[in-house]
């Protein structure tokens, strides 16, 4: 049904254009006849006056030439040609001997008449060309004025409103087109202005999908793909009799720039909002972590005191032990929250020293062996003397997060492989485990604070803070952290740190 309606609309438009062309042709013919008759009448009037006043051939010829030039300037070349032929006939008949005949006896008069006609035609042609150049210059100036006004309005668009609806309204108002449709690929929406024609909306989408510009002069429709650079961001369709391919290209370029500018503003606004939100969240975390520390210290002191005091039966001792263990976990969580807040707020005062990486890894494995769940570790170190310059405690926390993460998500009983490579001015620490794969879309997000991959909640408990701390710790040490994961091959986390230039003894 829609295709049928579209076909009917196109058929009506074609018929309308045919009628307009026929009407225009009739008007042009009538205008041509009127101007030619007017010019001929003026020539005859001058000839009559010349005969009555006994004016010679030369004077009358110059006056006729002036009339031909005026007709050329006011009407056109062909009207001037008809006028020049009438003038040539009048001069021959009334002023060239023998008069009142079309016969020319003297060859010099032939030369004079041919020269007159040639001069009239040449001057008419030059006059028409000059007139066309002037009209072209005026049209070009008007086109530039429209483009300037359109560009000025696009710069003053309201960033809080949809750019598409504003752009089509401005094009409709400034360029005076019959209708315009704009397809914004990023928002997957079509904005229109002017005549309500659903066909233009479909045409705008098709133009973007086909990625091709098209001109339909018979339908006064111009299709343009919007490209601010090498890739397309949308398409637009213009319909109007006062358009040209060059003007359509210019409007499309301005529209593409306006859409790209609107996108950049949106990204900047979102980034600023995210920054403010992150700043507020960091402040809240810092406050919560400090608030937790005081009651946790009292709980740990009380539970430890009850265990030391004794006189508890087995059930009571188990409960107190559970309180002590869980308060230790809460204390670790509070510490992580404080570390994260300080790292995010750039308030960390690093206590830098020369840190031997192999020695640091050995201390971590010794201190936290109970968190490995009985999984064996395989340590491979290329250089036992490799060192970096940084905060020992923060670096230890970062590496421990990788090891703890590998222990949580590895296959039970599988080994955890830790490798240290010293090359190209950096120290590369990797922790590999066999187990579930980290999806490609999650390999960046797992380093975001509080983010956990879908399904990870069922495999191991966690807060989503550990890997974010590792990433922040790497960045404050001018390093970086990332992950590689492949199904069947396991997951490897990497920590890159700058190698120290200090001598280690």
Q: What is the CATH number of the domain that holds 491?
A: 3.30.565.10
pLDDT digits (tens, 9 = 90+) for 430-450: 999 988 788 888 888 888 876
Percentage with pLDDT > 90 across the chain: 11
Domain closes at, from 234, 268, 302: 268
The answer to whether 466 and 408 have CB atoms below 8 angstroms apart is no
Contacts for 452 with CB less than 8 Å, ≥ 6 apart: 446, 462, 464
- 505 within some domain: no
Pairing of strands 234-239, 221-226: antiparallel
The whole-number average pLDDT for the span 98-110 is 73
Residue 366, φ and ψ in degrees, nearest 5: -70, -45
Cα–Cα distance for residue pair 417/381, rounded to 1 Å: 11
Residues 6+ apart with CB under 8 A from 213: 207, 223, 224, 225
What are the helix (H) ranges across 244-350?
A: 245-309, 314-344
What are the C-alpha distances in Å from 340 to residues 302, 335, 499? 28, 9, 25
pLDDT greater than 70 at residue 193: yes
Q: Which of 78-82, 365-369, 458-462 has the lowest mean pLDDT?
A: 458-462
For residues 461 and 470, what is the distance between their CA atoms, to the nearest angstrom?
18
What are the beta bridge partners of residue 435?
Answer: 410
pLDDT at residue 105 greater than cutoff 90: no
How many domains does the structure of the chain reveal?
4
Same domain, 440 and 491: yes
* Cross-sheet strand order for the sheet of 377-381: 377-381, 416-423, 426-433, 490-498, 480-486
Q: Do 137 and 66 have their domain in common? A: yes
**pLDDT of amino acid 280:** 58
* Six token digits for residue 464: 């989503």
- pLDDT tens-digit readout, 225-237: 998 878 888 999 9
pLDDT of residue 235: 92
Residue 503 lies in a domain: no
CA dist., res. 275 & res. 295, Å (int): 31
The set of residues, in sequence order, having a beta carbon less than 8 Å from that of 496 and lying 6+ positions away, is 426, 427, 428, 429, 474, 479, 480, 481
Greater pLDDT, 352 or 465: 352
Other beta carbons less than 10 A from residue 315's beta carbon: 8
The span from the CA of 91 to the CA of 56, in Å, is 10
Distances (CA, A) of 225 to 181, 191, 364: 12, 15, 59
Q: Looking at 248, 268, 288, which one is the last position of a domain?
A: 268
Q: Are residues 400 and 454 in the same domain?
A: yes
pLDDT, mean of residues 309-318: 76
pLDDT at 480 over 60: yes
Q: Is residue 504 part of a domain?
A: no
Are 105 and 222 contained in the same domain? no
User: Are residues 319 and 451 located together in one domain of the fold?
Assistant: no
Between the two ends of the chain, the Cα-to-Cα distance in Å is 86
Q: Same structural domain for residues 181 and 205?
A: yes
Select from 97, 126, 143 the last residue of a domain.
143
Tell whether pTM > 0.75. Answer: no
Q: What pLDDT, in 10s, does the model give residues 120-177?
A: 777 777 777 777 777 777 777 887 888 888 888 888 888 778 888 888 888 888 888 8
Answer yes or no: do 475 and 374 share one domain: yes
Which contiguous run of DSSP H or E holds residue 391?
Answer: strand 387-391
For residues 402 and 392, give the distance between their C-alpha atoms in angstroms, rounded to a whole number.
16
Long-range own/partner contacts, residues 89-94 (CB < 8 A, 24 or more apart): 90/43, 90/44, 90/47, 90/60, 90/64, 91/47, 91/57, 91/60, 91/61, 91/64, 91/116, 94/47, 94/50, 94/51, 94/60
Write out the residue range of the structural domain in which residue 293 sits: 277-344
């Amino acid at each position: 049904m829609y295709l049928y309606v579209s076909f009917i609309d196109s058929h009506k438009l074609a018929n309308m254009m045919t009628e307009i062309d026929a009407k225009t042709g009739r008007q042009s013919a009538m205008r041509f006849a009127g101007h030619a008759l007017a010019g001929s009448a003026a020539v005859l009037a001058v000839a009559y006056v010349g005969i009555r006043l006994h004016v010679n051939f030369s004077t009358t010829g110059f006056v006729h030439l002036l009339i031909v030039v005026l007709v050329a300037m006011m009407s056109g070349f062909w009207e001037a040609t008809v006028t020049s032929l009438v003038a040539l006939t009048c001069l021959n008949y009334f002023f060239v001997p023998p008069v009142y005949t079309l016969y020319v006896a003297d060859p010099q008069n032939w030369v004079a008449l041919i020269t007159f006609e040639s001069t009239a035609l040449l001057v008419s042609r030059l006059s028409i060309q000059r007139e066309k150049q002037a009209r072209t210059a005026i049209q070009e100036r008007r086109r530039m004025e429209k483009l300037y006004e359109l560009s000025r309005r696009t710069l003053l668009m309201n960033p809080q409103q949809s750019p598409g609806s504003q752009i089509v309204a401005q094009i409709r108002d400034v360029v005076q087109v019959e209708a315009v449709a704009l397809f914004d690929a990023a928002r997957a929406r079509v904005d229109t202005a002017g005549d309500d024609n659903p066909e233009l909306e479909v045409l705008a989408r098709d133009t973007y999908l086909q990625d091709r510009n098209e001109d339909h002069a018979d339908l006064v429709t111009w299709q343009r793909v919007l490209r601010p650079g090498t890739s397309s961001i949308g398409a637009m369709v213009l319909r109007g009799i006062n358009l040209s391919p060059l003007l359509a290209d210019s409007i499309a370029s301005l529209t593409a720039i306006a859409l790209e500018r609107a996108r950049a503003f949106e990204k900047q606004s979102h980034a600023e909002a995210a920054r403010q939100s992150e700043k507020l969240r960091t402040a809240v975390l810092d406050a919560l972590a400090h608030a937790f520390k005081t009651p946790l210290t009292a709980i740990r002191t009380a539970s430890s005191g009850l265990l030391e005091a004794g006189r508890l039966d087995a059930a009571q001792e188990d409960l107190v032990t559970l309180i002590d263990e869980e308060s230790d976990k809460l204390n670790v969580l509070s510490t992580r929250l404080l570390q994260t807040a300080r790292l995010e707020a750039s308030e960390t005062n690093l206590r830098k020293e020369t840190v031997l990486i192999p020695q640091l890894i050995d201390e971590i494995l010794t201190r936290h062996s109970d968190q490995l769940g009985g999984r064996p570790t395989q340590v491979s170190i290329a250089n036992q003397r490799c060192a970096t310059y940084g905060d020992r405690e923060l670096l230890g926390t970062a590496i421990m997060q990788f090891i703890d993460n590998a222990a949580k998500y590895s296959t039970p009983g599988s080994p955890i492989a830790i490798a240290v490579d010293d090359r190209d001015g950096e120290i590369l620490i990797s922790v590999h485990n066999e187990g579930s794969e980290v999806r490609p879309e999650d390999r960046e997000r797992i380093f975001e604070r509080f983010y956990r991959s879908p399904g990870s909640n069922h495999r191991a408990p966690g807060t989503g803070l550990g890997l974010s701390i590792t990433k922040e710790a790497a960045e404050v040490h001018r390093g970086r952290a990332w992950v590689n994961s492949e199904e069947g091959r396991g997951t490897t986390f990497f920590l890159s740190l700058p190698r120290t230039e200090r001598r280690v003894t």
